[in-house]
Structure 1
Amino acid sequence: MSIVVEQLARRFNRGGSPAVSKVSFQAPEGAITSLLGPSGAGKSTLLRLIAGLEIPDEGRVLIDGVDSTQMPVQQRGVGVVFQSYALFKHLTVRQNVAFGLEVRRVPKAEREARVEEMLRMVQLEHLGGRYPGQLSGGQRQRVAFARALAIRPRVLLLDEPFGALDTRVREELREWLHALHERTRLTTLLVTHDQQEALEISQHVVVLSEGRVAQAGSPSDIYDRPASPFVASFIGGASVLRGHVQAGRAAMGALSVTAPAAAREGEPVHAFVRPHDIKLAKAVAGAASASTATGRVERLKPVGGYVKVFLRLPSGDEVTVEVPRSEFDALGVAEGDSVRADVRSATVFVGDYSI
């Protein structure tokens, strides 16, 4: 069951910037597609347009090849799960899961059987008689999934379903969602601002910025081949180095990397370097190369199994390097020491760059 969005636009204030502007993409059948972007990028508005909770000013939504743009929510065959759970506090778990079936006038015997099936699927069959207030956040979210799945939706729409949960529960539910998707193979759209979440559980990613599609593709395409400076800066926590083209290379002070093929001599360039794409070593006289530079360790910040090294290069640029704890211990450096930074990979764009 594929979802195709064609030139979708939605403006809430006349004369203001559109929340969604000329968005087009296709969510592959049977896959999880993440709508990824910062706050205000238009992700939730786009999901609501697809669900039928908002009506677009322009464009079309096609579900399984059928134009569903003006179709009521109940006729679209979509199941929606929100970050806030949206459960009825006065109804039991079993009654919450049955709600959509009652609205659709599903016969009682079939309804009860479906509810028990859904509760088994989300592993909450022993909690059917409890109320939402008697459940943990993770359990409430699984009830919300069960309610959305009970109506046998053609597509599943998830609006930051794990955003209100703590880190451990969020990671557990990611694994649970992956297993659920393996069983159901439902075409799924997931709204998230968490790039790790999107890259970890999606087969397709649509990166949004200011209501527009910045890039769409597989997680590896988005991560390894960012199409624009915005995508390169948003995905992976990259540092930015500025320089100019010299003899076919992007020269940034003492450091240089390969420049884009179309770059002309003297043009300004900026390189995005991710924290794990820099290898650190003790500074040794005469050991430098085109892709290395000697920098000064400004600050160290241990974070679990790795150490963040904040490094200042001779050009004045600052870069962040993530070093596994065992490698850092073997390196034996302290704040104020000089180290050799070897850039193993960088994404370079031509032109000026400002944050």
Structure 2
Amino acid sequence: MSIIVEQVTRRFTSGGSPAVSEVSFQAPRGAITSLLGPSGAGKSTLLRLIAGLEVPDAGRILIDGVDCTSMPVQKRGVGVVFQSYALFRHMTVRENIAFGLDVRGSPRAETDARVDEMLRLVQLEALGGRYPGQLSGGQRQRVAFARALAIRPRVLLLDEPFGALDTRVREELREWLHSLHERTGLTTLLVTHDQQEALEISQHVVVMSEGRVAQAGSPEVIYNRPTSPFVASFIGGASVVRGRVESGRVAMGSLSVDVAASAREGETVQAFVRPHDIKLAKSPGGLVNGHPPTGRVERLKPVGGYVKVLLRLPTGDEVTVEVPRSEFDTLGVAEGDAVRADVRSATVFVGDYAI
């Protein structure tokens, strides 16, 4: 079942800025589509509109080709999982999973069989008699998934489902969701602000900013070919360096990088440089292979398997570089050292934009 959103707008105050403005995109059939963006981008509002929990002021929402814009929640065939789990504390795991079926008047034998099936699917067969307060956060979220799936939804809507969990559990549940999706094949819409989460488990990504779609496409396209300064800065943690086209290259103070053929000599540009796309070399005598140093190491921050280097350029700009531990140990730099930095690649946009 595909989800198609056409020119959807939603305002919560008369005359105020819309929470969602003229949004259009298509979530492919049988895929996980992530709505990705910073807080306040309109992601959760859009998901609630698709679920039927909110009504748009304009536009249409189609599920499997059927216009659901004014259709009640219970008739849309959607399963929804929230960050807060939204489980009934006074009900057991089995009773929580059965809730949607009971509301729909499912015969008891069919409900029991479906609950058993869902408990096996989410790997909680032995915990059906427990209450939510007796479960871990990850187990409670799997119960929420089982309850959403028990009604045999046409699409699955997930609103930051792992947001309240610690890093390790989040990673485990990402892999679990990937496996669950492979087994069910349900068209799934995932709201997240975590770009790693979106890029790791999605087949399609819709990047949102200020209530609008900034870019939509596969994770590879979103990451490697951003179409706007916002997407380039949001995806991949890029540093922004302003420069000018000189002799066919972008000169950014002491840094430079090849430029697209469309950029003209003398034009002002912004280059978005990701931390892993810069290579450093130490400058012990003031020169590196005959070249002057690019900048000085302002700060070093070891982070697991790599070291984050904050490099200050002569222009005053700061650039973040990520150096693998093994490479950093060989490099032998300390705070205050002069270094040479070579940019492997950068995304360049003509003009000077506010990000």
Give yes or no for contact 2:293–2:338 (8 Å, CA) kept in 1: no
Matched residue, 1:51: 51
Q: Which runs of 4+ in 1 moved over 4 A?
A: none
Q: Distance in 2 between matches of 1:225 and 1:233?
A: 12
Q: Distance in 2 between matches of 1:294 and 1:61?
A: 52
Q: Distance in 2 between matches of 1:120 and 1:46?
A: 32
Q: Distance in 2 between matches of 1:227 and 1:15?
A: 30
Matched residue, 2:39: 39
Which deviates more from structure 2 when the two are superposed, residues 274-283 or residues 81-90? 274-283
Aligned to 1:55, the other structure's residue is in SS state coil
Say whether residues 1:267 and 2:267 are aligned partners.
yes
Matched residue, 1:187: 187
Aligned to 1:12, the other structure's residue is in SS state coil
Q: Distance in 2 between matches of 1:340 and 1:314?
A: 12
* Cα deviation digits, residues 130-171 of structure 1 (max 9, x gap): 111111100000000000000000100000000000011111
Q: CA RMSD in A?
A: 1.3
Matched residue, 1:109: 109
Residues 343 and 328 of structure 1: is their aligned pair in 2 closer, same or farther, counting only changes over 3 Å? same
Q: Distance in 1 between matches of 2:135 and 2:197?
A: 24
Aligned to 1:333, the other structure's residue is in SS state coil
Matched residue, 2:311: 311
Q: Distance in 2 between matches of 1:195 and 1:255?
A: 27
> What TM-score do you get using the length of structure 1 for normalisation?
0.97
Give yes or no for contact 2:293–2:340 (8 Å, CA) kept in 1: yes
Give yes or no for contact 2:80–2:158 (8 Å, CA) kept in 1: yes
1:293 positional shift: 5.6
Residue identity matched to 1:268: T
1:280 positional shift: 1.1
Which deviates more from structure 2 when the two are superposed, residues 128-137 or residues 242-251? 242-251
Matched residue, 1:176: 176
Residue identity matched to 2:254: A
Say whether residues 1:155 and 2:152 are aligned partners.
no
> What TM-score do you get using the length of structure 2 for normalisation?
0.97
Equivalent of 2:289 in 261, 274, 287: 287
1:354 positional shift: 3.4
* Cα deviation digits, residues 302-353 of structure 1 (max 9, x gap): 1111110011122321100111111101111111111111100100011113
1:255 positional shift: 2.2
Unmatched 5+ stretches in structure 2: none
1:268 positional shift: 1.1
Residue identity matched to 1:164: A
Q: Distance in 1 between matches of 2:254 and 2:342?
A: 11
Q: Distance in 2 between matches of 1:255 and 1:296?
A: 13
Matched residue, 1:230: 230
Matched residue, 1:137: 137
Q: Distance in 2 between matches of 1:46 and 1:329?
A: 47
Matched residue count = 353
Q: Distance in 2 between matches of 1:29 and 1:15?
A: 36
1:254 positional shift: 2.8
1:247 positional shift: 2.5
Unmatched 5+ stretches in structure 1: none
Matched residue, 1:205: 205
Matched residue, 1:350: 350
Aligned to 1:69, the other structure's residue is in SS state coil
Q: Distance in 2 between matches of 1:273 and 1:116?
A: 51
Q: Give the share of equivalent positions with the same residue, in percent.
A: 83
Give yes or no for contact 2:282–2:337 (8 Å, CA) kept in 1: no
Give yes or no for contact 2:308–2:321 (8 Å, CA) kept in 1: yes
Residue identity matched to 1:119: L
Give yes or no for contact 1:240–1:271 (8 Å, CA) kept in 2: yes
* Cα deviation digits, residues 252-275 of structure 1 (max 9, x gap): 123222223332322211100000
